[in-house]
């Protein structure tokens, strides 16, 4: 079972990496309907990755302290996304803060509340 979980996580990471590559392109060039589709897929893939990570860690008995991780510095991918979305942020921004800013920007662009 652990091998199946690892395979699913690896496939989803490949999808997430492909989506991340597109974030580096100028999103303003996408037609509105494609941008909305892109945002929806991006959100769902990231939700799936988080859920699979949690499931995998529970299987291995290595539950992570997510509150502690949230206070770690933002990842390079988060910083790249904030730069692409032209989001202003502090040099010492945390993962949790970056996640919130990016989520708010995606909602703003997508027009959802």
pLDDT tens digits for 23-65? 666 666 777 777 788 778 778 877 877 887 777 777 665 545 5
Q: Which helix (H) or strand (E) holds 58?
A: helix 32-59
Supply the pLDDT for residue 45. 77
Q: Are 52 and 5 spatial neighbours (Cβ–Cβ below 8 Å)?
A: yes
For residue 1, pLDDT over 70 is answered with no
Q: Between residues 19 and 49, which one has the greater pLDDT?
A: 49
For residue 2, pLDDT over 60 is answered with no
Q: Are 104 and 112 spatial neighbours (Cβ–Cβ below 8 Å)?
A: no
For residue 19, pLDDT over 90 is answered with no
What's the whole-model pTM score?
0.45
Average pLDDT, the chain: 77
Listed by start position, the domains of the chain span 1-64, 73-113
Question: What is the distance between the alpha carbons of residues 81 and 78, in angstroms, rounded to a whole number?
Answer: 5
Question: What is the distance between the alpha carbons of residues 60 and 22, in angstroms, rounded to a whole number?
Answer: 33
| CA atoms within a 13 Å half-sphere pointing along the CA-CB vector of 3 | 0
């Amino acid at each position: 079972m652990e091998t199946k979980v690892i395979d699913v996580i690896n496939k989803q990471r490949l999808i997430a990496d492909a989506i991340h590559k597109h974030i580096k392109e100028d999103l303003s060039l996408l037609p509105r309907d494609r941008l909305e589709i892109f945002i929806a897929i991006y959100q769902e893939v990231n939700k799936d990755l988080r859920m699979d990570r949690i499931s995998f860690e529970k299987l291995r008995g290595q539950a992570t302290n997510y509150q502690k991780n949230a206070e770690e510095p933002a990842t390079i991918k988060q910083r790249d996304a904030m730069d692409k979305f032209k989001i202003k942020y502090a040099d010492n921004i945390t993962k949790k803060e970056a996640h919130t800013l990016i989520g708010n920007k995606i909602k703003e662009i997508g027009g959802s509340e």
